Every structure is written in C-alpha cells, then in structure tokens.
Amino acid sequence: MTEAVLTPTASGARRLGEDGLAVIVGVGVLILALVSLAGPDLLGWAVTTSVWTDPAKALGAVSKAYADLGGAGALATTYVALLVVLSAGVAALGAEARNFAVAFTVVFVIAYASWFVGSWAHIAAVTPADQAKFGVSWSLRLTNEGGYIVALIAGLVVANAFPRFADWLKEAIRPELYIKIAIVLLGAFIAVTAAGKLTLASSLLLRGVAAIVEAYLIYWAVVYFIARKWFGFSREWAAPLASGVSICGVAAAIATGGAIRARPQVPVLVSSLVVVFAVVEVLILPFLAQTFLSSQPLVAAAWIGLAVKTDGAAVAAGGITESLVLAKAAAEGINYQPGWLIAVTTTVKVFIDVFIGVWAFILAYIWTNHINVKPDAEKAKLSEIWARFPKFVLGFIVTFVAGLALALGGAGPKLAAAVGEANTFRVIFFILTFFSIGVLTDFRKLWREGLGKLAAVYLVSLFGFVIWVGLIISWLFFAGVKPPLVG
Amino acid sequence: MSEHELRDELKSPAEPLLPIEKKLIGWSLGIGVALLVLLAIINHFLPVS
C-alpha cells in the first residue's frame, strides 16, 4: 500500500510556505523573549492594553523597563516591528511586500482598535468588584478578550458592507498565517502552565487522543454518509465536505480534494462554507459554554476544540471560552489558573491536525485503487504523508519542549515573565486572526445558487451531530477534571 | 465554476454508494467506536491525578 495518487495543489504548496514562516516568526519571537533570562529585555516594548475607563491610560509597554515609551510609543514600536517582520516574511512567500505593508497597516489599525474598544470597562469588567474598581454601573462582562469578538464583528462589517474595501485588504488577510504563529507561541505558554502540574497535563494529553478517533473515524464517516445518502452528493463533493465538517476545515478539505483528485473549485467552495460556519460557531459556542459548562471548564475547552472548525477559529474560540468561563467562576469565588482551557483546546486541535496527511493518503489509496481506477494515473508515495503534514506543529512542539525544559530546570519567575512577553504577541496575532476571519466571511455566499444544498449538509451535520457528539465525548473524557486553582 | 454550472451539477442524479464506500463508512465507525470504548476503559482505570 505504498502507492496512491496525490496531487499537491498550488494552495497546498503555499500553505506549507506559511507553515515555515509561522515557525520562523514564532520561534524567533520566543528566542528574543528568552534572552531576558540572561539579562537584556529585548521585547519589553510590546504594547499591551489594560481594561480602561480613561483611554489615555489604556495602552502601555508590557515591561516596566520600557515604561518611558508610553502607550503610543509602545503601540507604534509594536506596529513597526510586526510590519517589518511580516512584510519580509510574505515577500519570502512570493507576495508583493509593498502591497502587504499598505494593507497590513490598515488591518493592524482596525484590529487593534477593536481590541482597544473591547477593553473598555463597560465591555470588559466582569465582577461587581471590577465594576466598583472602574466606577461603572453596568458591563457586558465579556472580559478584555471580548476585544476578539469586536475584531470579528469589525471584519464581518468590512466583508459584508464594504466588499471592495475587503478585497483591497486581501494581501494582509492571512488568518492561517497569523493563527499558526500564535499556536507556535502558545507552545511555550502551555509548557510553562503545564510544568506546575505535570501529572495533570500528561493525563489531559492522553485524553486528547479521543479527539483524533472522533474526528477521523466517527465524524467523517457519518458526514460522508449523510452527504451521499441523504443529500445525493457525488463522491467528489462528499469527501471534501466530510473532511471540512469533521476534521480541520480548510486544510482538510483541500488535502482531501487533492487526494481524490477533485477539481480545485470543489474544496475551495467547501472551504468558503467552513469559514462562514466557523464564524457562526465562534459567536455562539463560547457563550453557550459559559452558560452551561462553567462547572466543567475542561469539558468546555475540549468541546470547543472538537466542534469549531479551522485552526484559527477553534483556538481563538478556546481563548474566549477560557476568559468567559474563568470570569464566571471568579464571580462565584473560584479562581482557576489561566492557560489550562486554551491548552486543552489547542491540544485537541493540534492532535487532529497531525493526522490530515495520513487520512489524505488513506482516501487517495481507496479512490485510486477502488473508485477511480486509471492505469495511467500519476502515482505518489508514502512520502505524501510528510508533504501534507502541517509543519507549524513542529514549531509548536519545539517551543513546548523548550519551555518545559526551562521550567523544569528551575528558570522560575524570570521564565514566566519572558514567556509572558512572547504571549503578548500571541494575543496580537489572535486579534489579527479574528479580524481576518471576519473579512473572509461573506454571508452572501450562502445565498449563492447551488451552495444552499452544501450549506444544508453542513448545517445538519454540524448542529445536528458534530457538536452534540463532541459534547458527549468531551464529557466522557474530561468531566470532573478541573484546572488547578490560583495560589 | 459559474452559479449555473454549480446548480446543474448539484442537481445531477445521485451516484449509488459503492461497496467500497460502505466498507469505508462501516469500518471507520466500527474501529472508531471500539477505540473510544477502549479509551473510555483506560480513562476509567487511569483517572486524572
């Protein structure tokens, strides 16, 4: 079983390029942050936003060593640094750096302004004590990570009300790149969090294996059956659709399309649906998790990882869920350590990602040997599994192992501070991801003639099956497991 | 692919499920359920510390 037809697509090649860039940027940021363990603080100028009532006091540098920069100085420095690094990066991918720089400037301004608005006390303050502290009588209680929702809504407004403007921004609308950099940075953050409770962390990793089984063997088979039997889709449409709904959205749909030699338009159309539904999930599921699962925080986190498709939407939704669930628990007097929920969501998602190449190979083998048998078909080898392996996962592993080794080696509070500085950039890449996902979400596509039937399969599978089975499995494996308490 | 082509294509007659597709669905579900049961047993006997 060593030969099968697999045709790497142009988009697949580009994705691999983005993976490499994500690893370089993410690991580079972490290395610069870790230099502070030996003395100089190289990243302390990164901008951070506090919950505010006086906008003049909202922004500041993450390190006190750079307090003289002021909020505006920190913001400008952060923007210039990201502009230079990312422009050079996309130029290396073959894009036009000047076009990217212009579009990125606008994207950064709108995205960070959304984050700034989301940190307003009337939006972010959570507990009555917070409200008293900031002198506000009411609040939406979204935590300061409600800024992600604001950024997403800003992107949706741009995409649906100003489509020509959205098109003009497209060079800098790169949610996959931004979230992959963020996930690489998350590796070190999760390691430092896990190092304090290594036994708990390893137990959670073991339970993450259930996610792989569920996504590939349960979800895929059921969605494929629904698409073929109930909705009458051809194999060419049903397979990418099943992968898009079940596995990891865009990447899985494209990998499957390549594996079964679908026409390029098929996975692209499926991917556009994946993004639209992922946004709907991000806007709904974290709030459902807060309402119904706050007593089971890790069930909520695993559920988000299993239910929300695309890496960007899932990991970002995990961040929002953590904020909302922890805020509700804090209001009830329970203070969980931050980091554990997003660690579970990310682990579930990364575990699922890792097997995309293997699944694509299995489908390619079945299609070329049993469904579309052509004696003169181009043959590929097992090496395609590696070709389709999401390389940014290697960056995640590198930063995780480095962070864990340093934490277990006794680097202590200095390491936490260094990783905290790197985490500031993770937050910024999350904001860029949310805004970019919004800009890519054109709801008018759902009204496009013909797509309604595809959307119906997605709707029935996602809301009738995927999120409920995901909830049951998450409950089965994570119920009763709580994150450690602060202190 | 134009809207017209897409509409026509998605309205085309359904292809019946081949035996190999039924095998793929059946084996996936069978192995998946078996592995989940196995993991649930491991989960039961190795509780989170």
Domain assignment of residue B42, yes or no: yes
pLDDT tens for residues A133-168? 898 888 887 887 888 989 999 999 999 999 999 999
What residue numbers bound the domain in which B43 lies? 14-49
Q: Is A157 helix (H, G, I), strand (E, B) or coil?
A: helix
The predicted model gives A26-40 an average pLDDT of 93
pTM of the model: 0.81
Torsion angles phi and psi, residue A120, rounded to 5? -60, 135
Contacts with B, A 237-266, CB within 8 Å? 237, 263, 265
Residue that has been written with the tokens 């628990």 in this structure: A329
The reported pLDDT for the residue numbered A13 is: 43
Domain assignment of residue B8, yes or no: no
Angle at B26 between CA B20 and CA B28, to 5 degrees: 100
Residue A476 contacts B where some CB pair is shorter than 8 Å: yes
pLDDT band at A62 (very low <50, low <70, confident <90, very high): very high
Q: Does A225 sit within 8 Å of B48, measured CB to CB? A: no
pLDDT tens for residues A73-121? 999 999 999 999 999 999 999 999 999 999 999 999 999 999 999 999 9
pLDDT tens for residues A213-267? 989 999 999 999 999 999 899 999 999 999 999 987 777 888 888 888 888 788 8
Find out whether A299 and A475 touch, Cβ atoms under 8 Å. Answer: yes
Q: Compute the distance between CA of residue A75 and CA of residue A251 in angstroms, rounded to an integer.
A: 33
Residues 6+ apart with CB under 8 A from A250: A176, A244, A271, A274, A275, A310
Q: Please give the ipTM for the structure prediction.
A: 0.92
Domain assignment of residue B5, yes or no: no
Domain assignment of residue B22, yes or no: yes
Residue of A nearest to B14 (CA): A232
Residue that has been written with the tokens 């019946």 in this structure: B16
Find out whether A394 and A354 touch, Cβ atoms under 8 Å. Answer: no
Find out whether A456 and A230 touch, Cβ atoms under 8 Å. Answer: no
Residue A411 reports pLDDT greater than 80: no
pLDDT in tens, chain B (49 residues): 666 666 777 667 778 899 999 999 999 999 999 999 999 998 888 776 6
**Structural domain count, chain B:** 1
Chain A interface disruption, residue of B2, B36, B37, B42, most A CBs within 10 A:
B36
Q: DSSP string covering A12-80, please?
A: HHHHHHHHHHHHHHHHHHHHHHHGGGTS--SSTT-EEE--BSSGGGTEEESSGGGGGGHHHHHHHHHHH
Give the A:B interface size as CB pairs under 8 Å: 94
Domain assignment of residue B33, yes or no: yes
Domain assignment of residue B4, yes or no: no
Domain assignment of residue B21, yes or no: yes
Residue B37's nearest CA partner among A191, A322, A214 is: A214
Domain assignment of residue B1, yes or no: no
